[in-house]
Amino acid sequence: MAAPPRFKLKILCASGFFVFIGLSVLSANLSIAAFRAHHIENRIAHWGWVGYLQDDREWQALHDISTKSVKLFSADPRHVLIRTRLLEWRSYLQRLYPGYARKSALEALEGYRQLIDLAPSLGYAWASIAELRAGKNLFDEETISAFENSVMLHPVEDLTQRRIIRAGIHHWKNWPDHIKKLVNVTIDSALQIDTTLQDYPIDKFIYDTAVESRWENELHLPKHNPYAQ
């Protein structure tokens, strides 16, 4: 026996109401997650500016928030990237928290690999794998391939360039010749950028990185550059 038209209309209205509620909740979750992601990105940028992670309790609170966002939106590269960058920051605390630091370094590496699965063209993830593995003196096929991919995919993106240059200079002696050429090409490309709006100009970053690694003799800045020898 067929349901009366009025009954069918009630079912349709009820279904539409629940769909509306579901979409509203999803939209609210997306908005909250985006707001929190922006806040965490700002804090990471601040740590980068001051040069260190100031409070492990703050890190833990941000990590908890980020982990929840990844569980809710596991296919969104932005949330995975933020959580991975948080893990990498904690890996720098070797002196204060050696156990946490080692664990976080491994988790960060896995996070960047997960990012590549989600967004294979994300040069920053490739550059991060190359730099993290080079920091462990692993100059195998995975590291070399990651370095090559980072240059090929995002040769002019600022954060990617800085990772490529830092990894290249810090571990210069260990890289094969073709990677050294990619480092120099990336440096030349970076020096063409207008640094007027950069808080930390790329040319100063290159110079500071070279000095830190005692690589000044290999660095050939244009004569007009204020950091030229």
CATH architecture designation of domain 11-218: Alpha Horseshoe (1.25)
Instruction: Fill in the DSSP letter of residue 194.
Output: -
In degrees and rounded to multiples of 5, residue 93 shows phi and psi of: -90, 45
Tell me the C-alpha distance between 209 and 167, whole Å.
Answer: 10
Model pTM?
A: 0.80
pLDDT tens for each residue of the chain, 229 residues long = 555 555 544 544 555 544 444 434 434 455 667 878 888 888 888 887 777 776 778 889 999 999 999 998 888 999 999 999 999 988 877 656 677 778 888 999 999 999 999 999 999 999 999 999 999 999 999 999 999 999 998 768 899 999 999 999 999 999 999 999 999 999 999 999 888 888 889 999 999 999 999 998 888 777 666 666 5
Instruction: Fill in the DSSP letter of residue 172.
Output: G
Give SS3 for 191: coil
